[in-house]
Structure 1
Amino acid sequence: MAPPEPLSRAVAERRHAAGKDFAVLLSARERPLAQLEFWPRRMWRVYLFDDRSWRTRMVDLKPHGTGMLSAHWSIRWEFSDEQAHAAGKWDVQETTTVSDDGQVEVKTEFAGPRGTSTQAPAAGPSGVPVRRLSAPAESFLCPAPEFGDWQVFVPLLAQQGHEPATTVVLSEVPVAEGSGPLRATGIERLFRPGACDTSGGPAVVEQVDAGLLRITSGQLAVSDPGWLGDLRTVAVPSGEFPVTLSILRTSRGADVAAAKVTFLDLPPREWDMLLRPDEDLGLLGGGQFYGVGVDTGTAAFLDATRTVDEDRLDEDVFLAVDGRFTVELPGTETEPNLIAFRAGQGDGSYPVWIGRTDDGQVGCVVVDFQLHSADGEK
């Protein structure tokens, strides 16, 4: 499988310092040996490859009270042939769990009929039993690495049968010059009616009026209406403001390509990514972004104080928007309205852009569902 866009060493090092996830590939002579994944809360996951470049072992390590890492859980797989490995159909799966006090449980499963699995019997000649034993907790510890100190994982490579190297060197993968976080390019063109080219062929852009959004708190929120605890907000004027959808029509049908709420009838001078206070653009690699998460196929503009009746979401929003592009949940005497719309082609994460005027005011806010870009590429 092709790897994702590589991070520069500087970005990866900043992510490590901030406790944000990244991955490192250890290899020898262009052959993968281990994939090191740094997870939030300072946890690590290590995938190990054998001499055939098959991923046959996974080890999870978590912070230990000693300041080191504890290998508390691991899985080892056996595959009959390359086709089974490619399909993830193991013959044997051995799971090892280690408690903080060194109690070890090893459970072995064998592939059953049609790829199902069965646990090995507690005893008997036909399978390996579930084994329980005790071992010194120290034997499962390793140092928590500083960035670039991948030498601490060499013992895991040795367990996999690879000859330990005297040193592990981090080789910089070339990263395109100017590569950095996703940039807003051609956002205005997303709302320009007429023919355009996309990666899927010719298309037509149409504008649809989605109604007026009422803001009462001075805070616009962008969210999946089913997950209003996960808001992205920006300070805006109070009042009623038009919401416009960009509809992209192709030979396969029509989808919402972007949604915009306009606060000032002035052309934006610059575009900023809508960030939460704890998000840092310096931690993003090439083309990456922080965006609104969608898990119901629907996104929405709303006042940050707006609530919804979760029991009525299916009927009032999700089923209603399925047959059209947008739906409004009217306001009440005490609450503003909410305007929901279909999220491009479904669930995912999408960038949200703030269009600012010459004097820095918020002129508009746009959700780009990334169906096409100004230059016609997906």
Structure 2
Amino acid sequence: MIFDSLDVSYGEMWGSYRGMTHRSPMSRALAARKHAAGKDYAVLLSAREQPLALIEYWPGRMWRVYLFDDRSWCMQMIDLTPHSTGMLLAQRNTRWQFPNDQAHLYGKWDVQETTTVSADGQIEVKSEFAGPRGGSPESSHDGASGPSSVPGRKFATPVEKFLCPAPEFGDWQVFAPLLTQQGHESATTVVLNDRSVDEGSGPLRATGIEQLFNPGACDTREGPAVVEPIDAGMLRITSGQLAVSDPGWISNPRTVAVPQGDFPVTLSLLRTTHGADVAAARVTFLDAPAHKWEMTLRPDEDLGLLGEGQFYGVGVDTGAAAFMDATRTVTEEQLEDDILIPLSDSHFSVELPGTEPEPNLIAFRAGQGDGAYPVWTGRTGDGQVSCVVVDFQLRSAAGTEEDVVTDGAIAR
């Protein structure tokens, strides 16, 4: 393809996803903020509705470029790292050969060639084959035969051949020369056209969190349902720090400064014709309504780096979440015998007691399973913590279906 302009759009990192558009698009302004903060994002360069390059920005000023051919097949991956000259070094260049569309779709290459370049220009080229080299096409895809390779070639060459400028944000013409490696040809001048999405309303907002605990009938994506608040016990806080975490991964929980003492925990059950799930969990510190709600953040998290409907939340890998004092620990035996086994039976919550006056832990089922869920801190008009709520997003406060959002920035 000969191109004189490139359409530019932004989104979350694609990883191994083999598509032709962003799965999670973002605005140019958000991508710029992520770049300035050293956070990852992706840039798609396309022409005439065909992808030519997907560029991923990684922490540490590293870049990864996926190149597409005229069939819109992803045929090449180049990793670029900072070089002592201030430029970027194409440290690793991987090319693939695919026998047909289906093989490409599932990443089943026939040949993979990888060129590695050291900082001083030492080159190594390695080739791998899906089956024994020299075998028939049928044998090359025989799982029993396994992949094969040939000895790598090593030689030296001027490192300048593998350097390119490190771009400022928006200077994507820097990567245009790489497109020639897949047969594309650029005009003398290449114009960039911004095709990014609008900024939108920003991160997920806390809307009607109190209503999640109002008993009575409501509508959900599963049909009619009934909200039933239940008591889950008293949580003891001794350190002045509430922790919210998966009980199996409590090394880096979300914490909130709260009073010391014993405080009630309430679960909001959502009962449908399919059964009951925990829709939300709340620990109450003051008998006063929340004047405002704020997303519970870690010190290094910035709401300005979140896209439309995104949130920083608690990650769940064991199917359970928990409220606990920040000093509380859980042994592997306790996790399995005293938390996960009871929760897998008929229990919606379980208490892991502490020896007086040590803090306890109250764990509960996490909605419909593993995922990422927002944690909201409700504060009174004078800034005191009224309550902390985990919303498992099974319903909206208005009782209508709620869009599922992903947390691209989640860190447990």
Same fold (TM over 0.5): yes
Change (3 A) 1:252 1:45: farther
Deviation at 1:255, TM superposition (A): 2.2
Unpaired runs of at least 5, structure 2: 1-18, 132-140, 403-412
**CA–CA separation in structure 2 for the residues paired with 1:183 and 1:137:** 50
- Which residue among 280, 301, 305 is the counterpart of 1:258? 280
Range that drifts further, 12-21 or 299-308: 299-308
- Which residue among 346, 352, 359 is the counterpart of 2:369? 346
Range that drifts further, 267-276 or 95-104: 95-104
Contact 1:6 1:286 in 2 (8 A): no
5 Å matches for 1:197-208? 197-208=219-230
- Which residue among 49, 66, 71 is the counterpart of 1:47? 66
Range that drifts further, 30-39 or 315-324: 315-324
**Aligned partner of residue 130 in structure 1, secondary structure:** strand
1:312 matched residue in structure 2: 334
Tell me the alpha carbon deviations over residues 272-321 of structure 1, each in whole angstroms, 9 at most, x when there is no partner. Answer: 00111111111111111111122222211111111222343222222232
TM-score (normalizing by structure 1): 0.91
Range that drifts further, 318-327 or 31-40: 318-327
**CA–CA separation in structure 2 for the residues paired with 1:116 and 1:56:** 26
Range that drifts further, 153-162 or 74-83: 74-83
Deviation at 1:97, TM superposition (A): 2.9
Contact 2:129 2:149 in 1 (8 A): no
Contact 1:267 1:363 in 2 (8 A): yes
1:68 matched residue in structure 2: 87
Deviation at 1:70, TM superposition (A): 2.1
1:213 matched residue in structure 2: 235
Unpaired runs of at least 5, structure 1: 123-128
**CA–CA separation in structure 2 for the residues paired with 1:332 and 1:143:** 61
TM-score (normalizing by structure 2): 0.84
Task: State how many pairs are aligned.
Answer: 371
**CA–CA separation in structure 2 for the residues paired with 1:164 and 1:253:** 59
1:377 equivalent in alignment to 2:401: yes
- Which residue among 243, 255, 261 is the counterpart of 2:265? 243
Tell me the alpha carbon deviations over residues 31-90 of structure 1, each in whole angstroms, 9 at most, x when there is no partner. Answer: 111111112222212111111111121222222233222222232222222222222222
Percentage identity across aligned positions?
A: 70
**CA–CA separation in structure 2 for the residues paired with 1:371 and 1:207:** 15
Range that drifts further, 36-45 or 144-153: 36-45
2:3 matched residue in structure 1: none
- Which residue among 313, 326, 331 is the counterpart of 2:354? 331
Change (3 A) 1:348 1:217: same
1:120 matched residue in structure 2: 148
5 Å matches for 1:112-261? 112=131, 113=141, 118-122=146-150, 129-165=151-187, 166-175=189-198, 178-261=200-283
**Aligned partner of residue 167 in structure 1, secondary structure:** strand
Contact 1:257 1:344 in 2 (8 A): yes
